[in-house]
Amino acid sequence: MHSTLERYLFVTLFFILVVFQAVGKEVRWEELPAIPDKEGFAGMFAGVSNGALLVGGGANFPEKRPWEGGEKVWYDEIYFMENTEAGWTVAGQKLPQPLAYSVSGSYKNKVWIIGGNDAKAHSNLVISLVYRKGEIVLENDYPPLPVPLASMTGTILDGVFYVLGGQKTATGLAETKFYYLDLKKSKAEMKWEEGPAFPGMARIQAVAASHKEAFYIFSGFGLYKNTDESLGRTLLKDAYRFIPGDQPAQGIWEKLKDLPRGVAAAPSPAFSLGGDHILIPGGLDEKTLTHTDPASHPGFLDKMLAYNTNSEEWVEMGDMPEGTSRVTAPSVYWDGFWVVPNGEKGPGVRSPKVFGLSVHNPFGWANWTTLGAYLACMLGIGFYFSSRENTTTEYFLAGKRIPWWAAGLSIYGTQLSAITFMAIPVIVYATNWRLAVGSFMILAIVPLIIKFYLPFFKRLNITTAYEYLELRFDVRVRLLGSLTFIVFQLARMGVVLYLPAIAISSVTNMDIFLCIAIMGVFSTIYTVLGGMEAVIWTDVIQVVVLLGGALLSIFIAIANIDGGFSTVIDVGMEYHKFKLVDWSWDYTQLVFWVAIVGFFF
């Protein structure tokens, strides 16, 4: 019965994902009320205080485009919006100075604004804004940044504001310093600290993110001096993660897999979608960066790129609606939306529009009803067979009433695990079919099992293999064997519970710990109540659903691929995905003889 829980979890998952085609998270872009009476700003701040969305500052070219000789103007206005129906209101309070290209974030009903610049110089200001019944309360007597900075990146993680990179002056090279300010402390105790050295290149306009107790940095621009002392830009595609540990000063940086393309100046912080994904909308890639004529610029990249923090892989997440891509804009989560206020829609061209991205889990009542009915059915089987389990023979041997085909399906189902449905497909996708040799070894071992093992144990008339250990040796060996197995299963149970719970949580939006608790409790109850008979008959149901779900997945996938099955074959042949046997003698690889020996034993 050791694999009952694992199979149960995966059957539940496949029932949801495949049979009823739950498609997981769905992202939608919506246009929110625009900033009134303005042409839009780049480099605004954004945050949430007491339920209201606050934005402000920024810069634009109000008279002429920059390539027409237009002059850049900085602003100090603050706008707030309590709800989308009420729209935006201009606050009576203004910033201490015109300010743009700062970093901002929300913590404990305060909107924090760090650094930035105006027409004269870069700033080391630290400001907080609090919204109260139509009024803005501003405080600026916090410890200033150690140096003036603008065009840096940063965000708040667990009450600590992290800031990286940027420029001290408009003509200066990028900085590599990493600073942090603990917002949980009192104002008198607050001070900026320099964090562990950043291992990457100095940069500006990188994209930050805070996700699952880690601070992320993506892309950005490296700067260099041209021969005429002007600044040149290098588009970066690297990524890093900072894990603070018990204290930020003791944290460590980790190099992540490079992005498939640059996303510099994309809305920052990137959108944490819950589960395992960080979404980066748009940004500057090589193509949009090198378009030399600003008057005919096609607009910035409208592709969305997501980073899976679990698999540590990059995934294309489709296109943004036409005309929604923005750069040099902040982002903030408010009222169910990831909001992107204003920003540049082309080089030097601002937009007053405000867009919001909402994330929905289209699980629906049909899926919830099916899931509930399935869970109830599994419990019902346990209760049904519980009335028969009056002796150890009934409990462990199902009263010897199980037909051969049900027992066979149950044994087959024992081979299905988290590795079968999650790990092996990933390995095969990344390599080829060499792992299939292991399945053929089942056919090689079956004759030996039928000829020698089954008759031997049947003659002994014992219930478990541990009884044989006592007969062959003594009770100490039996206890050792039992204890070893239990310890192994306790260690394995973490993976058994965690892997399916990740997938179930992602499609239902349930808390992952709640998923683990529900699945663990349900499977334990029906197993304990119904004994081996309940286990075998639930196995039969689960094997049918698992195999049916796997086959249906294949058909659905092929049906949604342009060219269908022939395209699958052509692509597989082109990339040598159907290679089954490797005749090499390299014992460090899954070559033919290693697979034969390893899987057989």
Residue with tokens 């304990």: 528
For residue 292, the 8-state DSSP code is -
Q: For residue 169, give both structure tokens.
A: 């002056």
Give the model's pLDDT for residue 194. Answer: 96
Give dist(CA 338, CA 270) in Å, integer: 9
Nearest-10 crossing angle of helices 465-472, 475-508: 160
d(Cα 147, Cα 478) in Å, to the nearest integer? Answer: 69
Provide DSSP, 422-448: IIHHHHHHHS-STTHHHHHHHHHHHHH
Q: Give the residue among 550, 518, 548, 551 at the shortest CA–CA distance from 5.
A: 518
Phi first, then psi: give them for residue 381, nearest 5 degrees: -65, -40
Residue-by-residue DSSP string for 496-548: HHHHHHHHHHHHH---HHHHHHHHHHHHHHHHHHHHHHHHHHHHHHHHHHHHH
Judge contact between 99 and 74, C-beta under 8 A. Answer: yes
Q: Cis omega before residue 269 (within 30°)? A: yes
Q: CA 84, 88, 91, 97: dihedral to nearest 10 degrees? A: 110
**Structure token pair of residue 152:** 């840096």
What is the spatial distance between Cα 523 and Cα 98, in angstroms, rounded to a whole number? 61
Query: DSSP alpha helices (H): ranges in 199-298?
Result: 286-290
Contact status, residue 552 vs residue 22, Cβ threshold 8 Å: no
Q: Are 548 and 19 spatial neighbours (Cβ–Cβ below 8 Å)? A: yes
What pLDDT shows up at residue 417?
65
Q: Are 70 and 61 in contact (CB under 8 A)?
A: yes
Lay out the sheet containing 126-132: strands in order across: 103-107, 110-114, 126-132, 135-139
Sequence ranges of the chain with CATH classification 2.120.10.80: 26-360
Q: Could you give the 3-state DSSP secondary structure of residue 262?
A: coil
Between the two ends of the chain, the Cα-to-Cα distance in Å is 22
pLDDT of residue 203: 97
Q: What's the CATH superfamily of 26-360?
A: Kelch-type beta propeller (2.120.10.80)
What's residue 236's pLDDT?
96
Tell me the C-alpha distance between 228 and 219, whole Å: 26
Cis, peptide link before residue 62, omega less than 30° from 0: no
Beta bridge partners of 265: none
So what's the pLDDT on residue 596? 86
Letter string b/e over residues 370-386, b meaning 16 or more CB atoms within 10 A of that residue's CB: bbeebbeebbebbeebb
pLDDT at 115: 97
Q: Which residues contact 435 (CB under 8 A, 6 or more apart)?
A: 424, 427, 428, 590, 595
Tokens 């607009």, residue?
Answer: 299
Q: What is the pLDDT of residue 407?
A: 85
Does the predicted TM-score (pTM) go above 0.85? no
pLDDT at 221: 96
Residue with tokens 């995966």: 10
Give 390's Cβ-side CA count (13 Å radius): 2
Cα distance between residue 517 and residue 20, in whole Å? 23
Q: Is 52 helix (H, G, I), strand (E, B) or coil?
A: strand
Per DSSP, 83 falls in state S
Q: What is the token pair recorded at 541? A: 């149901």
Q: Which of 149, 145, 208, 146 is nearest to 175 (CA)?
A: 149
For residue 272, give the nearest of 446, 442, 27, 481 by alpha carbon. 27
Give the pLDDT means over successive 10-residue stretches in the chain (601 positions): 49 46 63 87 96 96 86 96 94 96 96 97 97 94 96 96 97 95 95 96 97 94 92 95 91 96 95 84 85 75 89 86 91 94 89 88 76 83 78 76 85 71 76 80 85 86 86 94 90 79 75 84 83 84 82 87 88 85 82 85 84
